[in-house]
Amino acid sequence: MTLTIGSCGRKKDDGSKNNGVLLERMERLEKALIETLVEQKDIPSPPYTNQSSGTGPLLQISPSCPSSGRIHFAGFNLGFISSFGGIPFFSKEGQDWVRSRTGESIALDGLLQHIPTWHKQREILYQSPPCGQDLPPRAVLQQYVEVYWSSFIRRVFPFVDTVMFNKTIDLVYQNSGHASSRACVFAFLAFMSNFRWHDMSLPEIDGNAYEVEAERLFQVLAREPVTLDGLQTVMMLATFHMYTANLGCVDLFLACAARMIFALGGNIPSTSGNCHIRTLFWLCYVLDKDLSLRTGRPPSLADEQCDLTLPPEYVQNIASLGLNTSPGDLLDQFPGDLRLSIIKSKTYNGLYSARSMSKPDAELLRTIRELDDELDRWRSLFPVPCRLGFLTDRSTGVHASMRGAMLTLEYYHCTTMIHQASSRCNAWAAANGHELEGVSSSLALCVEASRSSLLHLKASRAIIPDDCFWVVIFYPVSGFLTLFCNILMNPSHERAPDDLKLIEAYSMCLGEIPARRLSIDEIFHFKLINDFLRELSRLAKCAVDQAADRSH
């Protein structure tokens, strides 16, 4: 099938050409940065520790294993999702299980050494000037505003209203705006700096510097009455950090956005004619539910406090859109399907909330079946030719738009999260034949969805925009971890060699996922993920080799 460009409207360069020297670049930058950090005597060391004992380091990142974001597989509590970019960390039980299946310990001490360095160098590089950051010439801002209005960016991220934002800009450049108005303009520039590739004739701007200034002003606007500009500011800052994999900041700003939405009444449909606040509610809802399911953290927007009536004509318009987009589409699409976001919310509440952790097996499995049925009903809303389904390594069909590619990845991840909850069932420990058969079939669907996620991403690389690198990278890491656990659980299975080849390929060519030019801190984060995947790939091979030796 010939791939077309979809919503982005541009051809992609070969990712391997752009990123082939990325690892070499990382090594050079790492060496130079460490030398710089040694000279920074006045910067206190962050509160991370690194011990050389076999199981110590992975538990030293957090004072205690969190109650949310836990990773279970086939009855084992393997660890948790960290706030550090969503990278999984193995618990002592998880490390012991890996050692028992591979005969090897997880060698991630070196990886952990990068964490304080990564945090430190951000402090060095991105410090706000004492007197604040200057605004760019208005003509520069206007160029970015025009690109925003005329492109898909506004339809996916409808942060600002045309008329009201122009008034905000007028106030700011007349030096008569409040802190929230200035923060809104700086946050807009920071957000748009991620999309400069859309029109390379745009003047280059320092998105990180503008983000730092917006956050400095946020400290002021947080003490002011809630305003629309303030809400737009925190929403754009949350999205900026999402595109740089800083999930802790995403969580913080989404929480602030949720409180502002409640204060402005955006959690219920507007009767005053101002629909923009309601649009921001849905945008926050999509991002909040996605982050919650990725990290295991409680969502900031509680469904019981919100009217989830979809926007007028949303269902009809989305049905006509299908899984594709075109430059002429004017519908606010949001970064996902609102109906799928509601299912994500139900998945977290029913399977991963604190209350759901005490569900007995029967109730847990019933919830899994109900959510799986609801997800399948959502899937069936799409026409048969582009309906989502599991892939094989021989599959050739792939959705030709960015919207289709991302919805497919979201569908696979949602399927994975629904069925992975069966790993918490007591039936795994009881080893009762009938009960074990039920949870095993659910786990098999989880593995199949993860496998399909990796295969789909491999087939869709050409249509993924550069700026989506840190949004997309989560999906192969999640799928990789599930396949890794499945290989360790069943190293003699007939599909284990193919799964091993799949994760080995990803661990060796992670750089082929399209990425804009990465900043220094992003390169360090990339190295963390790359080292993590390569280590899991090595351990998976140990498990398969051990199983092969035992069979001879």
Instruction: Name the one residue in this structure whose structure tokens are 């539910």.
Output: 289
Q: pLDDT in tens for each of the 552 residues of the chain?
A: 222 223 333 344 444 444 455 555 555 555 554 454 444 444 443 333 333 333 333 333 343 444 456 788 877 777 776 655 556 778 888 889 899 999 988 876 555 554 444 444 444 445 555 557 899 999 999 999 999 998 888 989 999 998 999 999 999 999 877 899 999 999 999 999 988 766 778 899 999 999 999 999 999 999 989 999 999 999 999 999 998 888 889 999 999 999 999 999 999 997 776 789 999 999 999 999 999 998 889 999 999 999 999 998 888 877 765 555 544 444 567 898 999 999 999 999 999 999 999 999 999 999 999 999 999 999 988 876 566 777 655 454 555 577 888 889 999 999 999 999 999 988 887 765 566 777 889 999 999 999 999 988 888 777 777 677 778 888 888 889 999 999 999 999 999 999 999 998 877 666 566 556 666 777 777 778 888 888 899 999 999 999 888 876
- Per-residue model confidence (pLDDT) at position 421: 92
What are the two backbone dihedrals, phi and then psi, of residue 76, each rounded to the nearest 5 degrees?
-105, 140
Q: Residues 236, 198: contact at Cβ < 8 Å?
A: no
- Per-residue model confidence (pLDDT) at position 316: 81
Q: Residues 409, 453: contact at Cβ < 8 Å?
A: yes
Ranges of each domain in the chain: 138-309
Task: Please give the Cα distance from 409 to 336 (Å, whole number).
Answer: 11
Q: Output the CA angle 438-441-444, nearest 5 degrees.
A: 150
Q: In terms of Cα–Cα distance, which of 258, 252, 191 is closest to 226?
A: 258
- The gap between the terminal CA atoms of the chain, to the nearest Å, is 43
Task: Please give the Cα distance from 232 to 266 (Å, whole number).
Answer: 13
- Per-residue model confidence (pLDDT) at position 527: 79
Q: In terms of Cα–Cα distance, which of 224, 132, 225, 223 is closest to 185?
A: 132
Helix, strand or coil for residue 135?
Answer: coil
CA 376, distance to chain mean position in Å, is 23
- Non-local (6+) Cβ contacts of 521 within 8 A are 118, 121, 122, 125, 244
- Per-residue model confidence (pLDDT) at position 274: 74
C-alpha to C-alpha distances, 307 to 156, 277, 415, 465, nearest whole angstrom = 22, 13, 25, 33
Helix, strand or coil for residue 542?
Answer: helix
- Per-residue model confidence (pLDDT) at position 552: 67
Q: What share of the chain is helix, strand, coil (3-state, %, to 5)?
A: 65, 0, 35
Helix, strand or coil for residue 372?
Answer: helix
Strands, E assignment, 174-279? none
- Per-residue model confidence (pLDDT) at position 366: 95
Q: How many CA atoms lie within 13 A of 415 on its CB side?
A: 27
CA 73, distance to chain mean position in Å, is 21
pTM of the model: 0.84
